[in-house]
Amino acid sequence: MTPVSQQHLDDLAISRKEYGLIVSRLGREPNLLELGLFGSLWSEHCGYKHSKMLLKQFPHKSPRVLVGPGEENAGAVDIGDGLAVVMKVESHNHPSAVEPFQGAATGVGGIVRDIFTMGARPIALLNSLRFGPLSEPRNRYLFGGVVGGISSYGNCLGIPDVAGEVSFSSTYTHNPLVNAMCVGLIESRKLVSAVARGAGSLLVLIGADTGRDGIHGASGLASRTFEEQRELRSTVQVGNPFLEKVLIEACLELVDKKLIEGMQDLGAAGLTSASVESAARGGSGVDLDVSRVPRREAGMTPYEVMLSESQERMLLVVRPEKLDAVLGVCAKWDILATVIGRVVPGDVARIREGRKTVGAVPVPLLSDPPLYRIHGRKPRALSRLQSADMGATPLPRRTPGRILRALLASPNIASKLSVYQQYDHMVLDNTLVAPGEGDAAVLRIKGTRKAIALAIDGNGRQCYLDPETGGAMAVAEAARNVVCAGAEPIAATNCLNFGNPEKSDVAYQLVHCTRGMARACRALELPIISGNVSLYNETQGEAIYPTPVIGVLGLLERAHRRCTMGFKNEGDLVYLLGPLTSAAADLAGSEYLERVHGLVQGRPAISLDTESRVQRACLDGIRAGIVRSAHDCSDGGLAVAIAESAIAGGLGVHIETNMAGRWDALLFGEPPSRIVVSVAPEDARQLESLARRRGAPLRRIGVVQGRRFVWTGWLDEPVSRLADAWRHGLERAAR
């Protein structure tokens, strides 16, 4: 056999040491097809080699959790009334950097398949996006392509895109982040497993023909950095949302009629991962005949068929006596269905081309990649940034009003109307709180009094300055957003976006970010039920900010108790739940510090005990029906949060709070664990009592009145002028 070339190992992202391990475990040299199987399943994207040990620290159990992380394609949590919510977030960063429209579109398609693979009907999409500054043409191209791909695919599927976030920083110029989240609903008893068990069961491939698109996507594109200029478009898949739509309906009908034993989507690594991972879950072997796989291109080799990542394909496990019924359902929906193999005794994945065996590898070897325990070392530069004298930052010459307008117009803070107006967020008629109306989306659960709240969040700048604290703050903010909608956070999913974990500084970031996230999840009693890891987000040695993204699910037992961020009535009192402070340290990692002073420095801090108390007090007030508006303080600080509530409500506000310290920190500092709420005057005592009972800081800071935002001593701006800056900031920056 010809020795394997270094180029082929590089294409598969397999090191020479890992190749030696494969030979040792297999007891022989693998052929090129078998090596391709190892390359895909041992890739970072599929095998989580540098992160699996870290993921074990996340809490993943609660009385509501039905399916936890790694057990199936997505996590599932009980919401009562015999119903479960299935959810997951996943990245499509590298494909979107190469081909933004198709990369983002197929990212949506892939996460949707993860949901209906479990038998759940997809009911909502969310996304978390990061780009470089819009002043650069390339970034504007990526931004437009990604948003266009998400809207095109999601709208064609008829799934509402209800919430998300978009941020901009030079660190993402060459590596945009495209994280897509999907949520589905199912009767708990109908949950489907992606498992191949029962010798003699048939493996049925349904959906699109197989082409050459996406080969080496998991190993070659998602598991290494962009270090060289090379043609990568062939690794990006092309989606067909109209086919996926009928695929959803066909698969859900098969589930409803109890015609299948298991179901798995063909995502990363295509048929390889779908068949081998299903066999691993079932403790069985599989026998596949690649000559039976329908193809749309002539001359495809078994290697290409097994590693293709062509979209809109599903693998079904079917008992022989139910095959005709399965084929009948597929024919009804005009979906191609082909028997390509069967479940067999033992533990070998055998690949045949007709009668000829072209590859045979034990499933346990393929599904057991080497795991690396990483540590990393804190960079000296980070210590310097953290120890910077924040008090030495000069106070700006610009007036507070001018700064507030500039922050409201910043693409990181400004309304994302120009993005989400491209998404259909009302289809299915479940959306009660739409994008821009609150800190989280709220969807009714038809047939019940319940609703769910959904939010997705992250802050790479804070994680860069202090990975552990930043990781905790990301979890806290996403949960806080759901609480502001009136929902109790009950489960979370995450997507960990980092650079090259083989480098010490990135390893340090990954270790400490996950540690902080786990600590926050435990403090807030929030189990992680699913997720994804995206590493090697790096170009020519420059890594992105460490960017863990958190999607949180909240439950409202009574949908009518939902809350939004806009002030509601003249005369309502405005309170701050959480600490009021004007310390220079509060400027750490703030939008103000970077936009006004050009600095990214300081050390963010969080008290998870305070965070928990604030969230509980806010939730108590909303459930009691006394909190009329609630809005999280985050990017831009307290002044921006108050302004956004005024803009959303079309009402003015008079703030009378002042204190010793820095006025810029008071107005624009970004300490966590703070929520701006408003109540009717007659409910003020009850709110104060609820806060005392929870031990949460609470301070009355003003009153809703007029049409101006007045902060005595600092600000006096027409709300209409602030609204213009906020509503049009993003589109003006994108011109």
Active site (catalytic) residues = 45, 92
Bridge-based pairing of strands 75-80 and 65-67 is antiparallel
| Closest of 111, 193, 211 to residue 534, by C-alpha | 111
Cα–Cα distance, 303 to 359 (Å, whole number): 10
- Per the rule left: phi > 0, alpha: psi between -120 and 50, beta: everything else, 206 is beta
CA distance 108 to 147: 11
- Strand pairing partners for 124? 183
Structure-block tokens of residue 625:
């029906």
Q: Which CB contacts under 8 angstroms, 24+ apart, belong to 383-390?
A: 385/465, 385/600, 385/601, 385/602, 386/465, 386/466, 386/601, 386/602, 386/603, 387/603, 388/599, 388/601, 388/602, 390/584, 390/585, 390/587, 390/588, 390/601, 390/602
Rounded to whole angstroms, the Cα distance separating 464 from 170 reads 13
The CA distance from 130 to 172, in Å, is 6
387 vs 717: CA distance, rounded Å: 36
Class of residue 188 by CB neighbours under 10 A (exposed 0-12, middle 13-18, buried 19+): middle
Q: Are strands 441-444 and 451-457 parallel, antiparallel or unpaired?
A: antiparallel
At 473, which amino acid appears? M
Task: Tell me how far apart the alpha carbons of residues 101 and 148 are, in angstroms, rounded to a whole number.
Answer: 6
Alpha carbon distances (Å) from 333 to 192, 201, 248, 253: 20, 23, 10, 10
Beta bridge partners of residue 653, listed in sequence order = 704, 709
Terminal C-alpha separation, the chain: 58
Q: Which helix (H) or strand (E) holds 678?
A: strand 675-679
Structure-block tokens of residue 457: 């969040």
Length of the chain: 735
**DSSP codes, 496-531:** EE-S-TTSHHHHHHHHHHHHHHHHHHHHTT--EEEE
Q: Please check whether residue 408 is in contact with residue 726, taking contact to mean a CB–CB distance below 8 angstroms.
A: yes
Please tell me the distance from the alpha carbon of residue 450 to that of residue 562, in angstroms, as a whole number: 10
DSSP assignment, residue 586? G
Distance from C-alpha of 475 to C-alpha of 487, rounded to nearest angstrom: 15
